[in-house]
Structure 1
Amino acid sequence: MTEFSESYSPSHITGFFSADNNLNPKKKGAMGAGIILKDGCITKAEKNNSEEIKIYINGVEDEAKTSRYVALKILKNEGVKISSNFDVPIKGGFGASAAGAISTALALNKLYSKNLTFNKLSEIAHIAEVENKTGLGDVDAISVGGGLVMRKKGGSVNYGSFDIIPVEEKKVGYILIKEICTKDILEDGKIMGMINKVGKEKLKSLLKRPTLENFMKLSCEFSSEIGLVDGKIKDAIEDVITNGGLASMAMIGGTVFAINKYDCLRDHGVLHETEIMFGRSHIIR
């Protein structure tokens, strides 16, 4: 029988952020805030008889640079088949690469008895994201513990500064309108300049009134002020607000997410529902 291990990671939607740059990838990251969601990723790691690393995303073989980076940092000539299956869209602003990276790290650590701590595994996944420009702070938010997470200083869990805003159990509705490549945004100096300016302002405002409702309001302002909201996304957000709900655009992805009265999103795309997750990535078996 093939030896295997499985692990789970929730996903994460960033509402607003600013880059916290550092030459040390352990200390480089993002400040901002986001919500941890129950729908996420399950990764299965299986031993094989070669030294080859094969990675499958939703059943299709993939280069998966971020997860591969994690595997190469943890393994020493061991072969493995890594299968990550997502409940959320890829390139939709759900921190999918982060969820894949941390769940891969956990599964490999268990499968090959590497005996690394959670924070060490999280740091490996964080560096993988930074080096491959697939994200800046999703791994760290996912690793903190769930709910509504504020990142007050960028960097991995060993260097950043985090806090959690107490919130109630809450359903979250979302529609994917288009895919956006995170790397394209992170490499655009003009957009990042605006993101850094506005993101810092929104974090200050959230610290003054740390509530879920204020987070949603500030996220909506952020997405509008940085200029990433196009016609369809703007229409969907405004429709939710008109109907008494709160909505914004996921960072970085063409997803509209909302709380409270969001059933009208059905008029703009395929509506999915999940809920805020109070927990973090863990081994299943």
Structure 2
Amino acid sequence: MNKAEAYSPASISFIFRKVEGINLLSTGSLGIGCTLNKGVTAIVEKAKKTKVLLNDKAVKLPTVEYACRKLIDQPIKINLYSSLPLGCGFGLSAASTLASLLAVNYLFGLGKNKLKVAEIAHISEIINHTGLGSVGTQMIGGFLLKKTPGIPFQFTRLRYAGKNIYATVMGKLETPTVLGNVKHTEMINQIADQVLNRINKDKSLTLEKIFDYSLDFVEKSGLLKNKDVISLIKIIKETGGHATMSILGNVVLSTIPLRYKAYPVYKLSISNDNLATCKNG
């Protein structure tokens, strides 16, 4: 076998609360997130020197490289393909890591199950400050209300699969700059506790309400700062739609499509997709 291929869905988060566990596996987040109908395909092959490419361009992805080194001490070439942009709140760091690990596992016949692969990916996300709960969401798939942090975790599945979400991408927001700020994280957690408490008491929860709860969260926690993101959210609400900010990215997530300036708009849908079986070549 010369190469192996695997797929992981992308994901978005609406609300998160960081939880420090007794170890890296129990560290993570509570909150709400879902997988999407788009994601990352990883094609891994043996090589003389380790190299990571995203859409055929060399890229530095420390989370991917760290995780793969934990699985195999051998140089590999990782080709990642995605139609979604990196660093914009689509969980591509987690998806790239999961897909790469599963392909490596298959290519070298390591025999690891998906839970073990997810554990390695999750630990790498925590160590590199690139995510808290995306790995878990992508491993399970669907629209999840996460009740416990880490891998594995407890959750409630909400039945919103198939509903469309429109993402207007305005720019990146580096996750480590947020997750590495202790004081800001404390504020985020306080607001998240308040909003999640309201959600847990809501007996008529809808996707539209989750957008509204999420907007309240990003506004009060200080995550929503970009002027264009703020302006578009206001316009969407005035038009009768519901919108929030992607976590973490300068991206507007909305229930209706609305062009704003020259920013690209991605039509996405909530899926039940999860980490996929490999192909070999």
- Shorter-chain TM band: over 0.9
Q: Which residue number in structure 2 is paired with residue 122 of structure 1?
A: 118
Q: Which residue number in structure 2 is paired with residue 81 of structure 1?
A: 77
Q: Which residue number in structure 1 is paired with residue 146 of structure 2?
A: 151
Partner AA of 2:195 in structure 1: K
Alpha-carbon contact 2:5-2:44 (below 8 Å) kept:
yes
Partner AA of 1:4 in structure 2: K
Q: Select 1:186's aligned residue among 163, 179, 185.
A: 179
Partner AA of 2:176 in structure 1: K
Q: Which residue number in structure 2 is paired with residue 21 of structure 1?
A: 20
Q: Which residue number in structure 1 is paired with residue 277 of structure 2?
A: 283
1:175-223 deviation per Cα after TM superposition (whole angstroms, max 9, x unaligned): 1112111000011122211110111222222222343222111111111
Partner Cα distance (1:154, 1:268) in 2? 38
Where in structure 2 are the equivalents of 1:47-196 lying within 5 Å?
Answer: 47-48=46-47, 50=48, 52-75=49-72, 77-146=73-142, 148-157=143-152, 160-196=153-189
The reply on whether 1:217 has 2:212 as its aligned counterpart is: yes
Partner AA of 1:133 in structure 2: H
Q: Select 1:229's aligned residue among 224, 228, 248.
A: 224
Partner AA of 1:85 in structure 2: Y
Task: Give percent identity, aligned residues only.
Answer: 27
Partner Cα distance (2:278, 2:243) in 1? 33
SS in 1 for 2:259: helix
SS in 2 for 1:155: coil
Q: Select 1:271's aligned residue among 250, 258, 265.
A: 265
Q: TM-score, normalised by structure 1?
A: 0.92
Partner Cα distance (1:249, 1:234) in 2? 9
Which ranges in structure 1 are unaligned for 5 or more consecutive residues?
Answer: none
Partner AA of 1:53 in structure 2: T
Which ranges in structure 2 are unaligned for 5 or more consecutive residues?
Answer: none
Q: Which residue number in structure 2 is paired with residue 203 of structure 1?
A: 196
1:110-142 deviation per Cα after TM superposition (whole angstroms, max 9, x unaligned): 111111111110111000100111011110111
Partner AA of 1:271 in structure 2: V
> How much is the aligned-residue C-alpha RMSD, in angstroms?
1.5
Alpha-carbon contact 2:52-2:58 (below 8 Å) kept:
yes
How far off is 1:24 after superposition?
A: 0.7
Alpha-carbon contact 1:10-1:281 (below 8 Å) kept:
yes
SS in 1 for 2:271: coil
Alpha-carbon contact 1:236-1:265 (below 8 Å) kept:
no
Change (3 A) 1:71 1:168: closer
How far off is 1:168 after superposition?
A: 4.4
**Alignment: residue pair count:** 276
SS in 2 for 1:283: coil
Alpha-carbon contact 1:174-1:273 (below 8 Å) kept:
yes
Partner Cα distance (1:115, 1:177) in 2? 41
Partner Cα distance (1:145, 1:95) in 2? 13
Q: TM-score, normalised by structure 2?
A: 0.93
SS in 2 for 1:78: coil
Partner Cα distance (1:191, 1:56) in 2? 33
| Structure 1 stretches of at least 4 aligned residues deviating more than 6 Å after TM superposition | none
Change (3 A) 1:74 1:180: same
Alpha-carbon contact 1:240-1:265 (below 8 Å) kept:
no
Partner AA of 1:40 in structure 2: G
